[in-house]
């Protein structure tokens, strides 16, 4: 869908991408040059805005899409509760107070963040691998989408883990959460991230909803750049 802004034709993807860039640039400048703690406190509002932009750019919101949101949210909250209470998942860690209201010491926004990371990783892999996988299936006469399934799920989970690796040092410095012991992020954390992401991306692949939202790819790139710059500069 196109709209007119100052005489120019713009799409919902372009509008959402502009807003996402604007708010991440404001956050970057605020953290680097002004009150780091204040801008850290706005993280949950920023994540909520990014979630609304995903809804704004999603071509159709059907029952499968809503089920996927709920699945990611519930799974994310559940695994984080298990992790913080027992250490069986991810390791010995706990959340700070900057991410807003919590349920059993896990911020509600974390469940939403699980959805956004998995959704963006799944959409990105779907866009990047779509043509290549279809060509392979045509050449090999493979009528079963097993190659696409494996590529989407495994590569998407790897992308999600990479994003967590990029984010971890900054999340700790901003007080999102902290690790026990010497404060180092355990390798076990990334193993659990990979396994949970595999599960959620399998659900993503199986459900029938529009998976061509290019804003998700833009958002992932914006957030990766945001955290990379913060890792470099603070």
Name the residue range of residue 90's domain: 2-233
Separation CA 124–CA 221 (nearest Å): 10
Give 12-15 contacts, CB < 8 A, sequence gap 24+.
12/56, 12/57, 12/215, 13/57, 13/213, 13/214, 13/215, 13/218, 15/56
- H-type helices in 141-213, by residue range? 146-150, 156-173, 187-206
pLDDT at 151: 79
Averaged pLDDT, 29-49: 93
Q: At which residue do the structure tokens 């699945």 appear?
A: 71
pLDDT at 196: 97
Separation CA 215–CA 77 (nearest Å): 25
pLDDT at 177: 95
Instruction: At 9, list the tokens.
Output: 């034709």
Q: What confidence tier does 63 reach under pLDDT thresholds 50, 70, 90?
A: very high
pLDDT at 234: 83
Average pLDDT, the chain: 90
pLDDT at 149: 75
Q: What confidence tier does 7 reach under pLDDT thresholds 50, 70, 90?
A: very low
Express as a percent the part of the chain with pLDDT over 70. Answer: 88
Q: What confidence tier does 142 reach under pLDDT thresholds 50, 70, 90?
A: low
pLDDT at 6: 42
Give 102-105 contacts, CB < 8 A, sequence gap 24+.
103/77, 105/81
Query: What are the backbone angles phi and psi of residue 131, rounded to the nearest 5°?
Result: -65, -40
- Predicted structure pTM score: 0.90
Domains in the chain, number: 1
Q: What confidence tier does 8 reach under pLDDT thresholds 50, 70, 90?
A: very low
Is the pLDDT score of 140 beyond 80? no
Q: What is the pLDDT of residues 77-100, one digit of tens each?
A: 999 999 999 999 999 999 999 999
Other CB atoms closer than 10 Å to residue 91's CB: what's the count? Answer: 19
Is the pLDDT score of 203 beyond 80? yes
């Amino acid at each position: 869908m196109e709209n007119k802004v100052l005489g120019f034709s713009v799409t919902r993807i372009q509008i959402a991408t502009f807003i996402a860039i604007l708010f991440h640039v404001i956050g970057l400048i605020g953290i680097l040059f002004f009150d780091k703690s204040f801008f850290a406190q706005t993280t949950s509002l920023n994540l909520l805005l990014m979630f609304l932009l995903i809804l704004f750019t999603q071509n159709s919101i059907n029952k499968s899409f809503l089920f996927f949101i709920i699945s990611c949210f519930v799974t994310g909250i559940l695994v984080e509760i298990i992790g913080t209470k027992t250490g069986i998942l991810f390791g010995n860690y706990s959340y700070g107070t900057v991410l807003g209201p919590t349920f059993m010491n896990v911020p509600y926004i974390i469940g939403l963040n699980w959805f956004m990371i998995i959704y963006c990783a799944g959409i990105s892999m779907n866009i990047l691998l779509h043509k290549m996988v279809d060509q392979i299936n045509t050449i090999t006469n493979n009528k079963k989408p097993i190659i696409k399934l494996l590529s989407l799920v495994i590569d998407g989970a790897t992308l999600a883990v990479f994003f967590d690796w990029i984010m971890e040092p900054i999340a700790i410095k901003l007080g999102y959460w902290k690790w026990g012991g010497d404060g180092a992020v355990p390798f076990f954390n990334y193993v659990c991230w990979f396994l949970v992401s595999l599960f959620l991306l399998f659900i993503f692949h199986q459900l029938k909803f529009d998976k061509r939202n290019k804003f998700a790819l833009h958002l992932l790139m914006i957030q990766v750049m945001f955290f990379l710059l913060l890792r470099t500069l603070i």
